[in-house]
Structure 1
Amino acid sequence: MDAPEVEVRTEPDDTVVIRPSGVIDAAAAVHLQRILVHTVRKVRPPRIILDLSAVSHLDPISVGTVSAACELGDDHQVAMCFHNPSSRISEQLTKAGVPRQRLHRNDVVA
C-alpha cells in the first residue's frame, strides 16, 4: 500500500501540526509512526497537534501507534494533542489510554 497523504507544517509558535488523511491502516501506520517519532525525538517542538479531521478510519494498530506517540511525547516533554477526531476515533483513542483532555474538537474538549 502507498503511504498515506500526510501534511506536516510548523506554526509561528514552533508547534508542529501533522495532518494525515484517509484510512490509516496497519501499513499506513508505519509511515505515520516514522513522522511522529522523528518529530518528537529530532525536531522536539514544544507541542505537536495531530489533526485528525481528514482521517476516516484508524485501525487498532494505528490507534496503538498514536497512543504510544503520545507517551513518547510525554517522555520527551513534547505536549501532544489531537484535533478534530471523529467520535469513533475519540472513543478508540481514550480506550487506548490517551487522556480525554488531549482530544479537541473545534476548540472544545471532545
Structure 2
Amino acid sequence: MANPPLTVRTSDDGTVVLQPRGDVGVDAAVELRQVLVHLIRRVRPYRLVVDLAEVSGLDDINVGTLVAIVPVADELGVAVFLDNPSAGVADLLCASGVPHQRLRPVRA
C-alpha cells in the first residue's frame, strides 16, 4: 500500500508532526486546511511541525494556507515550524510571507 498523501503523528515530547507528500496541489487543499485548522484550534499542541521533506511542490492555495496558519497559531499559543522544505519551496514560502525563522532546513 502506498503512503497516504498526508500523515499526522505525535512525537514523544508532544510535538505534532504533519507530513504531506508529493505534489501538494488543489486536490489536497481542503484536507490540508481542515487538518491544520483542527490541530491548531482544537488539539492546540505546544509545537506543530509541518515536515515538507517529501513535498515536491505546492500550489498557490496551499502556500496561502501555510502562510496564514503561522499568525493564527501564534495567537493561540501554538509554535509552527515548516521543516525540511526544498530550496524552491522555501523560497516560495518566504516570498509569500512566512518568516524565515519558521523554516528549518533539510536535515543532513
Q: Would you call these one fold, judging by a TM-score over 0.5?
A: yes
Unaligned runs of 5+ residues in structure 2 are: none
- Secondary structure at 1:49's aligned position in 2? strand
Q: Deviations over 1:60-85 (max 9, x none)?
A: 11100111111211111100001100
* Contact 2:14-2:46 within 8 A present in 1 as well: yes
> Which one-letter code corresponds to 1:41 in the other structure?
R
* Structure 1 runs (4+) greater than 2 angstroms displaced: none
User: In the alignment, is residue 105 of structure 1 matched against residue 102 of structure 2?
Assistant: no
> Which one-letter code corresponds to 1:21 in the other structure?
R
Output the aligned Cα RMSD.
1.4
> Which one-letter code corresponds to 1:10 in the other structure?
T
- Secondary structure at 1:12's aligned position in 2? coil
Q: Which residue of 2 aligns with 1:96?
A: 96
TM-score (ref. length: structure 2): 0.91
User: In the alignment, is residue 49 of structure 1 matched against residue 49 of structure 2?
Assistant: yes
Q: Which residue of 2 aligns with 1:67?
A: 67
TM-score (ref. length: structure 1): 0.90
Measured after TM superposition, the shift of residue 27 of structure 1 is 2.5
